[in-house]
Amino acid sequence: MSSPDLARDPKSEATRRQSEASHPAVSAWVSANAGSGKTHVLARRVIRLLLAGTPPGRILCLTYTKAAAANMANRVLAILGRWARMDDGALDAAIAETVGEAPDEALRARARRLFAAALETPGGLKIQTIHAFCGGLLHRFPFEADVAAGFRELDEVARRELMARIRADLVVAASLAPASPAGEALARLTEEMSDSGLTGLIEAAVALRARISPLGDTPAARRAAVARALGLPAGLTVADVEAEMLASPHLPRSEWESVAATLATSDKATDRKRADDLAAAAAAGDDASALAAYRGVFFGSDGPRSDKNLLTKGMGTREPDLLVRFTAERDRLAGLDDRLKAAWTLERTGAALTLGAEACRRYEAEKAARGLLDFDDLITKAAALLAEQPTFVQFKLDQGIDHILVDEAQDTSPEQWKVVEGLASDFFSGEGARAGVTRTIFVVGDEKQSIFSFQGADPRAFGAMRATFERKVGAEGFRRVELPHSFRSAPGVLEAVDAIFKSEVAHAGLTLDGVGPVHAAIRADAPALVEIWPTTVPEPHPEPDNWRRPLDEVPSDDPVSRLAARIAGFIQAGIANGLAIPSRNGRPMRAGDVLVLVRRRGRVFEAVIRALKELKDPRVQVAGADRLVVPEHIAALDLMALGDALLSPHDDLSLASVLKSPLFGFTDDDLMALCPQRKGTLASVLATSDDARHRAAAARLAGWKGEAEGLRPFDFYGRVLGRDGGRRAMLARLGPEAADVLDEFMALARTYEGAEPASLAGFLAFLRRGGAETKRDMESGRDEVRVMTAHGAKGLEAPLVILADTVDMPRPRIAGGLLTLPGEGVPVLAPRKAEDPEVLATARATAAARELEEYRRLFYVALTRAEDALVICGAETRAPAKDKPHARPEGCWYDLARAALEPDADEGEPLGFEGKVLRWRKGPGLKVAEAGAPVPAAVEEAEALSFPNPPPPEPTLRRLRPSGIDGAEPRPERPAMPAPLPESALSPLVRGDLVHRLLAGLPEVAAAEREAAGLRLLRHAADGVDEAAHRAILAEALGVLGHAPLAELFGAGSRAEVPVIGRITGGGGEVFAVNGRIDRLVVLPDRILVADFKTDRTPPGDPAEAGESYVSQLAVYGAILSQAFGGRPVEARLVYTAGPLVVPLAASRLGAALDRLGVPSPPFASLGVKGA
């Protein structure tokens, strides 16, 4: 594949390759560059399989994340939904574009039915994460898989909380039994490890339990396995090796004193230093001190001494025999030194695995007791089930899956590949290869984007599995397809990416074939901007630190802060000058066009967010952090402080925090007026204050205290945030970022209540133990600058990407200090590089090399997020050495980019700050306006970035609310019922809502239990209403449910409160956006039944009196539903709950309602129910 081949008519070539990849009759392995439209190819293949007659339930699509699965399903359904309502000409064109040939009448009819078929498939389209699929598989076959029937999945929040409990309990138990194996192991490890190191070790051991378990059930068995991996006898100890080192055949211990005296006669400092060390060894009172001094004779700080540094030349000439003995002893000790390091490693690892194995045992026991499986269990047990292939399971699977599609295959771990391989094991041979059925596997991925090794991903497995399936399928039915074309990035950006990774150093580990990547742009004439800014460096003469400055204040003159200020200034200037965005049709730049990427959430990450916020420019909003630790966010801290203050009346610090929070809005001055010299607690001072505001705060706190004692945490905090305006107050002060934290806080309350007896104190402890995180949605489309990690940006894109964290190298990622030895698969504790034996040093070097390969792959991911403009910058936080031009480590992102692009770059004036930048000039000539330049009235075609007049606003769809359609006639007033509800009853609106809630929930409850369940709901939702009102409302709902003519409406397959979203086109071509909700829906083979519940106190005496607004509402719903289900007839009913009274709506009346809107009428069913 060469660039000239790809450059010829790139769109046609890209379409040809996508068509080849999506062909439903062959298996395909697709290597897709970033931005090449792999999601489109996946969706297209699913649709082509459906068009070829494959039932929706026989297609399984496995994706990496829930978001990817939802995106994929939505894309397929959106296409099929459009096909269901297209006219024949438009549909023929769409099908031809998909399959490559004009459809016949049968294919057109099948295409129209696909949307309804997909919706009617039990469980919907099988587009799900591999964990979700494995969970479903195990639930279907719990006996065969040896798992608990009805098991629950252990989510990340619950897993963190469980691990916190296990760690705490294990450390306490080991401390109380110091003579036990766990107690001895803990004592040994605490000599060298901190609390956080011990926590990491236990966490890592549980993650590696699949490797620890096979080593044995006892400390002795595990020690023997580790000793074999290290090349040691199982019984060898550190003391044995140390004794061997002291027992020298060349320099017996009895001669140390005399040899030291001989060396001391030298006039050279080197010889005298050796004499001192040897004399100290001879005089030592114990073996440990003696060995330390003795090693000093033969070893320096960097290992064994050289011949030149062992003894001086003069001493060697004078005492040649001594020189020979010293040289032989050094060599002997050098060999034993590696053995000693291995013995130390064996002892450390034995202790680590003893403690880790006990943690694993407790973890498995806790899961078994609670009927839980974690994400690793789902994969391993599903893989084992498929590998063993019970006949019944295999038969069931063969009946259900004919086509497997795997997305993001480069991030699939070896264990996950076992699941895929097990699913397809009989696809192409044996009984699974059914006559007349073509079974396929489709895999799409990009090894260049494999960046999740910490989750088990291995790009080498991508290549290995490709060879495996190619062999199984055979050459005739297997295709390798490459998608090098990018629909995302401009040519200048892609050429910069190719240039950066052209050298062998840069593309090492990037691709499976060991060559640099090649990209081709679909937007062949699109301009682009690629800039490299000079790094910010420490000031040569910083001002003396001010001791009065707050400890957490960030100095404004440090390199990180100055880089953040540059980035903020650049973004602000680009927006202010109306910088044109080519990928957005040349419209002016907005904050939402910018994506700032970092390697990790550290100083640069925080500084950029802070600098953007400090601009206080309404045009430059920032989205905040992409991932938040919930208990550490200020919003959660305020809510937790509220809980602490209510539980502990004497906790004045927590109460002061709550008062200063948005919940009350007190200032520092308010607290200073209350707190100093107060008598009693802060709560009592508030209650007795003369200030009405203080007393109001005390009254609110007293009310919350009473509720906190009687309510579950979710209900209590729900009232604080909802009823009492806490959420509104927090968002007003803390910004929209707090919304995600508050949502996750409430979700955590639900999670806690599902696992433990609910109490406020328990919930607060749960939060502090678990450290739950929330990942914010950065694709929401808000007009905000996004600042996030390159890992988090996988799958995202932006017109302007700024790489801000480019001058650091990756740190060795050895979770908990446990490093797995290649080949042996044995975890070994490796805390410090200097103490590694050779076998461990080799393993560490291998891990470091793979880490560097992933570091470069992450750089590729970051670069390819850019559509139009790419900026590479960084901050050096250390001054360079005297003989170095900079302090950047060799091979960092910044140096890789600068070395590749600088030869073809020119210096230019930056936008938004002073200085010079390098602007790459590869491809079409690109220009940016200087800071402060006026917006030109017109620009030349060759200019990459221009400043046009803002485009006209886009037209918006007219929104049609079915419950309030224009032109509907109001229903005439009628006298009230003679027997009204008691005075304490709710308002009609709220009362109607309660009836609707009962009608939605009670059909799922057994008839004998409905009355009790309904009263429970009413007492909870309407606790201010008396018992008589509750029973009257419930009786009305039960009367509807028991009404014989409505049995079909509440039967099997019926659904309540169904949202309906769609578009209908009026006769004049006007498009209406419809968004509503159907009270009750039943999709039957021959028709669709919809019903709308009306809680009017007085039903109409004549069906003709039913309000036209009600009729129009159901008519619009019918039009949308009939469209979605391929023209199936719709039967509509109004159900008045008082009575009850069922009013079937005639087809003519429904059609007339649509005629008034100019909307074509769908087929409405004839009346099937008589009013009652």
Cα dihedral sign, 217-221-223-224: negative
The arithmetic mean of pLDDT across residues 934-960, rounded, is: 42
Asked whether the predicted pLDDT for residue 220 surpasses 90, the reply is yes
Nearest-5° angle of CA 657, CA 658, CA 660? 65
pLDDT at 1139 (0 to 100): 82
pLDDT tens profile 352-382: 999 999 999 999 999 999 899 999 999 999 9
Phi/psi-derived region of residue 389, left when phi > 0, alpha when psi is between -120 and 50, beta in every other case: left
Comparing 157-166, 383-392, 684-693, 1126-1135, the range with the smallest average pLDDT is 383-392
Nearest to 721 by CA among 738, 706, 709: 738
Q: Helices (H), strands (E): how many in the chain? A: 44, 31
The mean pLDDT of the chain is 86
pLDDT at 897 (0 to 100): 95
Q: How far is CA 1022 from the centre of its chain?
A: 39
Asked whether the predicted pLDDT for residue 272 surpasses 60, the reply is yes
**What is the CATH T-level fold of the domain 631-771, as seen in this structure?**
PCRA; domain 4 (1.10.486)
Q: Which amino acid type is present at position 69?
A: A
Asked whether the predicted pLDDT for residue 993 surpasses 80, the reply is yes
Q: For the range 458-467, what are the long-range contacts, defined as Cβ-Cβ under 8 Å and sequence gap of 24 or more?
A: 458/413, 458/414, 459/410, 459/512, 459/857, 460/512, 461/412, 461/413, 461/414, 461/417, 462/409, 462/410, 462/412, 462/512, 463/512, 465/409, 465/417, 465/420, 465/421, 466/29
SS (H, E, C) 910-965: CCCCCCCEEEECCCCCCCCCCCCCCCCCCCCCCCCCCCCCCCCCCCCCEEECHHHC
pLDDT at 711 (0 to 100): 92
Instruction: Give the separation between CA 118 and CA 1119, rounded to whole angstroms.
Output: 19
pLDDT at 297 (0 to 100): 93
DSSP strands (E only) in 476-571: 478-483, 485-486, 520-521, 529-532
pLDDT at 430 (0 to 100): 57
* Tokens standing for residue 453: 């090794």
The arithmetic mean of pLDDT across residues 1057-1083, rounded, is: 82
Among the CATH numbers 3.30.230.70, 3.40.50.300, 3.40.630.10, 3.40.50.2030, which is that of 488-540+554-626+776-954?
3.40.50.300
Asked whether the predicted pLDDT for residue 1060 surpasses 60, the reply is yes
The arithmetic mean of pLDDT across residues 268-277, rounded, is: 93
Q: What is the CATH number of domain 960-1157?
A: 3.90.320.10
Give residue limits of the domains in the chain: 3-147+377-485, 152-236+350-374, 238-343, 488-540+554-626+776-954, 631-771, 960-1157
Nearest to 384 by CA among 222, 187, 141, 738: 141
Nearest to 56 by CA among 438, 401, 406: 401
- Predicted confidence band at 577 (pLDDT cuts at 50, 70, 90)? confident
Q: Which letter does DSSP use for residue 156 in this model?
A: H
Phi/psi-derived region of residue 594, left when phi > 0, alpha when psi is between -120 and 50, beta in every other case: beta
pLDDT at 181 (0 to 100): 94
* Tokens standing for residue 848: 């470091």
If one counts every other C-beta atom within 10 angstroms of the C-beta of residue 569, the result is 18
pLDDT at 787 (0 to 100): 94
Q: Are strands 786-789 and 627-629 parallel, antiparallel or unpaired?
A: unpaired
pLDDT at 1052 (0 to 100): 83
- Predicted confidence band at 210 (pLDDT cuts at 50, 70, 90)? very high
Helix (H, G, I), strand (E, B) or coil at 128: strand
CA-to-CA separations, 395 to 133, 398, 425, 630, in angstroms, rounded: 17, 5, 13, 46
Helix (H, G, I), strand (E, B) or coil at 663: coil
Radius of gyration over every alpha carbon of the chain, rounded to an integer in angstroms:
36
pLDDT at 987 (0 to 100): 77
pLDDT at 887 (0 to 100): 82
- Predicted confidence band at 1172 (pLDDT cuts at 50, 70, 90)? low
- Who contacts 1096 (Cβ-Cβ below 8 Å, separation ≥6)? 971, 1136, 1138
Q: Which residues pair with 451 in a beta bridge?
A: none
Asked whether the predicted pLDDT for residue 704 surpasses 70, the reply is yes
Asked whether the predicted pLDDT for residue 213 surpasses 90, the reply is yes
Nearest to 834 by CA among 361, 344, 464, 378: 344
Predicted TM-score (pTM) of this structure: 0.78
- Predicted confidence band at 2 (pLDDT cuts at 50, 70, 90)? very low
Q: If you search the block for the tokens 């609707």, which residue do you land on? A: 996
Element (H, E) at 1144: strand 1141-1144
Q: Which letter does DSSP use for residue 815 in this model?
A: G
Asked whether the predicted pLDDT for residue 941 surpasses 50, the reply is no
Could you check whether 3-147+377-485 and 488-540+554-626+776-954 share the same CATH topology? yes
The arithmetic mean of pLDDT across residues 95-124, rounded, is: 88
Instruction: Give the separation between CA 917 and CA 161, rounded to whole angstroms.
Output: 49
User: With contact defined as beta carbons under 8 Å apart, do 236 and 259 qualify?
Assistant: no
Instruction: Give the separation between CA 18 and CA 483, rounded to whole angstroms.
Output: 7
Nearest-5° angle of CA 953, CA 957, CA 963? 145
Q: How far is CA 625 from the centre of its chain?
A: 13
Nearest to 361 by CA among 205, 473, 243: 205
Nearest to 1077 by CA among 1147, 1152, 1003, 993: 993
* Tokens standing for residue 847: 């891990």
Q: Are strands 478-483 and 27-32 parallel, antiparallel or unpaired?
A: parallel
User: With contact defined as beta carbons under 8 Å apart, do 1114 and 1081 qualify?
Assistant: no
pLDDT tens profile 809-855: 988 778 889 999 988 789 999 988 889 999 999 999 999 999 999 99
pLDDT at 696 (0 to 100): 92
- Predicted confidence band at 658 (pLDDT cuts at 50, 70, 90)? very high
Q: What is the CATH number of domain 3-147+377-485?
A: 3.40.50.300
- 267 versus 435: the higher-pLDDT residue is 267
Helix (H, G, I), strand (E, B) or coil at 1165: coil
Q: Which amino acid type is present at position 564?
A: A
pLDDT at 980 (0 to 100): 39
Torsion angles phi and psi, residue 861, rounded to 5: -60, -45
- Predicted confidence band at 707 (pLDDT cuts at 50, 70, 90)? very high
* Tokens standing for residue 1171: 């009013």
pLDDT tens profile 236-250: 999 999 999 999 999
Asked whether the predicted pLDDT for residue 1020 surpasses 70, the reply is yes
pLDDT at 64 (0 to 100): 84
Q: Are strands 485-486 and 773-775 parallel, antiparallel or unpaired?
A: unpaired
- Who contacts 1163 (Cβ-Cβ below 8 Å, separation ≥6)? 1122, 1127, 1128, 1129, 1130, 1147
Comparing 267-271, 397-401, 458-462, 814-818, the range with the smallest average pLDDT is 397-401
- Predicted confidence band at 295 (pLDDT cuts at 50, 70, 90)? very high
User: With contact defined as beta carbons under 8 Å apart, do 923 and 528 qualify?
Assistant: yes
User: With contact defined as beta carbons under 8 Å apart, do 714 and 751 qualify?
Assistant: no
Nearest to 774 by CA among 217, 4, 110, 155: 155
Asked whether the predicted pLDDT for residue 130 surpasses 60, the reply is yes
Nearest-5° angle of CA 226, CA 232, CA 233? 100
CA-to-CA separations, 330 to 135, 305, 325, 837, in angstroms, rounded: 60, 8, 9, 17
Comparing 37-46, 827-836, 950-959, the range with the smallest average pLDDT is 950-959
H helices present in 577-633, as ranges: 603-614
Comparing 280-294, 430-444, 741-755, the range with the smallest average pLDDT is 430-444
* Tokens standing for residue 403: 């086509």
SS (H, E, C) 963-1029: HHCCCCCCCCCCCCCCCCCCCCCCCHHHHHHHHHHHHHHHHHCCHHHHHHHHHHHHHHHCCCCCHHH
pLDDT tens profile 387-396: 887 667 767 7
pLDDT at 953 (0 to 100): 45
pLDDT tens profile 1077-1092: 899 999 888 889 999 9
User: With contact defined as beta carbons under 8 Å apart, do 731 and 738 qualify?
Assistant: yes
Element (H, E) at 373: strand 372-373
Q: Which amino acid type is present at position 1119?
A: A
pLDDT tens profile 534-544: 999 988 765 55
Torsion angles phi and psi, residue 960, rounded to 5: -115, 115
Q: Which amino acid type is present at position 542?
A: P
